[in-house]
Amino acid sequence: MSVVNYGTREITCKIVYYGPGRSGKTTNLQHIYSQLPEERKGKMVSLATETDRTLFFDFLPLDLGTISGFATRFQLYTVPGQVYYAATRKLVLQGVDGVVFVADSQSRQLAENIESLQDLHANLADEGLDPRTLPLVMQYNKRDLPAGEISSIKDLDETLNFRDVPNFSATAITGGGVFETLRSVASLVLSRLSAPATKDS
């Protein structure tokens, strides 16, 4: 649902960070928020529980400036990863333009990653979106953990990245790979608009 408003010459895109609980989705947004200049970002909205787990979503509006004469804005969302927040994840996915799947690299989290990816596909299908064509980027987070505790990139790619979409190693806690991931998904989403141009939905 990228919105191209020809009257006001604005483009607005919605990117959702998806993944299992505690994989680092909120940490991605927090790093982006901390690094961007004031004039390029809005307030970060976090609907979290007392224990700092995302309850509903995190939201961060970004201003990319003017591209081809269009004021271009991104809306970054995260979903709550915990299994029992399924209804919320579905709501946040409404109108999504691109997804960053934040996988937890820890070997013991592999099953959770798979379950979350299947959940993403099911929810996208419910929204009438084709999981095979929607702009998607994989981020393998927590690469700073000891090698014995994490799966190799090759293993993660073979298990999760069957669409062969761009993938990034990340250490979101220190910011490693965060902007590369965002840049990649931003590019995928906006490139879709250039030809053919999508009209206001």
Binding site for another protein (CB under 8 A): 1, 3-12, 14, 36, 40-43, 45, 56-57, 59, 61-70, 72-73, 75, 77, 87-88, 91-92, 94-95, 179-180, 182-184, 186-187, 190-191, 193-201
Nearer to another protein (CB atom), residue 126 or residue 149: 126
- Nearest distance, CB of residue 160 and another protein, angstroms: 21
CB closer to another protein, 108 vs 199: 199
CB of 114 to another protein, least distance (A): 27
- Are 165 and 138 spatial neighbours (Cβ–Cβ below 8 Å)? yes
- Name which of 112 and 177 has its Cβ closer to another protein: 177
| For another protein, the closer CB: 63 or 155 | 63
Least distance (Å) from another protein to the CB of residue 111? 28
87 or 111: whose CB is closer to another protein? 87
Nearer to another protein, 42 or 131 (CB): 42
- In the complex, the smallest distance separating the C-beta of residue 197 from another protein, rounded to whole angstroms, is 3
Q: From the CB of 14, what's the least distance to another protein, in Å?
A: 8
Residue 143 Cβ vs another protein, minimum distance, rounded to whole Å: 15
Q: Which residues pair with 14 in a beta bridge?
A: 75
Q: State the number of CA atoms in the 13 A half-sphere of 181 facing the CB.
A: 33
Task: Mention every residue, 6+ apart, whose C-beta is less than 8 A from residue 57.
Answer: 47, 77, 78, 79, 80, 88, 92
